[in-house]
Amino acid sequence: MMVACLSGLAFPSALHVGRPNIGDRSRLLARVEDMCERAWLSNDGPFVREFEQRVADLTGVRHCVAICNATIGLEIAIRAADIAGEVIIPAYTFVATAHALQWQGVTPVFCDIDPVTHTLDPASVERLVTPRTSAIIGVHVWGQPCPVEELTAIAHRHGLKLMFDAAHAFGCAHRGNPIGGFGLAEIFSFHATKFVNCAEGGAVVTNDDELAARIRLMRNFGFAGYDNVIYVGTNGKMSELSAAMGLTSLDCMPHIVQANRENYAAYRQAFRDLPGVSVIRYDETEAQNYQYIVLDIDPTTCPLTRDQLVQVLHSHNVLARRYFFPGVHRMEPYRSSYPDAHLVLPVTEDVVRRVVVLPTGTAVSPRDIEQIGQIVRWGLDRAGELRQRLPECIPPGGRFDEGWA
């Protein structure tokens, strides 16, 4: 018998982390019809230019360059900024942050994080700077900003370039200023899993005129006018179809943020007073997108381990996710290149074993959240029984609801 059948609380269809927010379909279809009438599908069309302007206005920067996705955006920005040698990044990030460097022949140097914000720890950054270091790339995690001022001071002191992977942070702010204008450049993701999405897309935002001009050249093979290539480039252009989706998503941005915020409040209520389980809190004095509902599972007080709790949720069709498990330093090729990295990343090692992300967005209702809370309470109440049936370790990326008896 399945655990889900025992509890009687399973969802009939799966609730996913990162399920797309579609927005107003009629507006999207009208834009698609307009695009087809113009027969302008790519190559810096009107929807792309409108999307760039709206993102620039929302983030308060001079330049937004729309890119086909955020990983290519990172790669182009790294190359356009002439970054080489070694770059300090967190190991607690999506693997694309490291891959973008590696793809450009730059060596990522993994740094530990702050145990509360899960962003780069400035003291750890300072210790890792060597003559080979050329830059720092911070990652705003859960929309929580990096320690911008401290990282800026370190970069200035050592003559380093500073960028930010802002994939989680569109619509968020730091000390009253929108994320987007910090460092040399910031890179947004508009992937389908993000609260504002282009189905697939990204953008580099910057106040540096020269850098923006280089990035625009590089995203289009280095073309500067008809038949005139003046720079080594690639194909990083955003399509009109992606921009149409992005514009539709921007139209609905206030509604999506409000839904996320209400879900955040509902989760805090549903998970109140659970032993060893807490919802990571947002600073509500700053602009937030509330895109992620993040649980911290304290192994010293929670009756189930984080992985056991994930199995309970998956068995009930709540497809929670471990983030960013197991840490980039434990993925290839970095695991083989830096086999001892875990020894200098104690906070990262702890966080990747504690964190779980739950479904939210416009597809999740307050009733869903109440039921998710009931499922977790049910699991914790029966922890003694469940510990005998649930394996301690779960393979990365696996489903956990098969073969329970």
Residue 7 confidence (pLDDT): 66
Tell me the per-residue pLDDT of 343-395, one tens digit each, with 9 for 90 and over. Answer: 999 999 999 999 999 999 999 999 999 999 999 999 999 999 888 887 654 44
Kindly state whether residues 274 and 198 are assigned to the same domain. Answer: no
| pTM exceeds cut of 0.75 | yes
Q: Is residue 392 part of a domain?
A: no
Q: Which domain holds residue 93?
A: 25-251
Residue 10 confidence (pLDDT): 81
Residue 5 confidence (pLDDT): 47
Q: Is residue 402 part of a domain?
A: no
Distance CA 68, CA 399 (A): 30
Kindly state whether residues 296 and 245 are assigned to the same domain. Answer: no
Give Cβ neighbours of residue 302 (< 8 Å, ≥ 6 apart).
275, 276, 277, 309, 380
Distance CA 223, CA 201 (A): 21
How many structural domains comprise the chain? 2
Residue 9 confidence (pLDDT): 79
Kindly state whether residues 67 and 103 are assigned to the same domain. Answer: yes
Closest among 171, 216, 288 to 49, alpha carbons compared: 216
pLDDT beneath 50, residues of the chain: 1-5, 393-405
Tell me the per-residue pLDDT of 294-305, one tens digit each, with 9 for 90 and over. Answer: 999 999 999 999
| Cβ-contact 189, 202 below 8 angstroms | yes
